């Protein structure tokens, strides 16, 4: 919802390939954004954003390359965002890595 209300177009959801999954792909006029959504009921084991570690980031990059190969019409700048939901708190981390 945050992306739509800020003028982004949702172009894919839950896209899967052999290398992983992309939760959300959105686009504004010039940027394709790959979004990882992480949710935790509480921060007892740390905030949700902490679950997007280097290993997960690497897998998301590989999946993004495969998504771009499968969708050659989408060109422009690229960005990776994280939507972290901890309890009822929602945090959108733009250009997270």
In tens, the pLDDT along 54-82 reads 999 999 999 999 999 999 988 889 999 99
Structure tokens at 39: 């949710």
What pTM was computed for the model? 0.90
Per-residue pLDDT tens for 12-59? 999 999 889 999 999 998 999 999 999 888 877 778 888 889 999 999
Task: Give the per-residue pLDDT at 84.
Answer: 94
**The predicted structure's pLDDT at residue 32:** 97
Q: Are 15 and 67 in contact (CB under 8 A)?
A: yes
Residues 24 and 82: their CA atoms lie apart, in Å, by 10
């Amino acid at each position: 919802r945050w992306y739509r209300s800020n003028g982004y177009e949702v172009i894919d959801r839950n896209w899967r390939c052999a290398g992983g999954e992309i939760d959300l792909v959105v686009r504004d006029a010039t940027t394709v954004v790959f979004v990882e959504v992480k949710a935790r009921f509480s921060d007892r084991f740390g905030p949700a954003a902490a679950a997007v570690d280097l290993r997960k980031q690497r897998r998301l990059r590989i999946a993004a390359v495969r998504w771009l190969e499968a969708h050659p019409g989408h060109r422009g700048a690229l960005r990776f965002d994280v939507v972290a939901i901890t309890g009822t708190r929602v945090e959108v981390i733009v250009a997270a890595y």
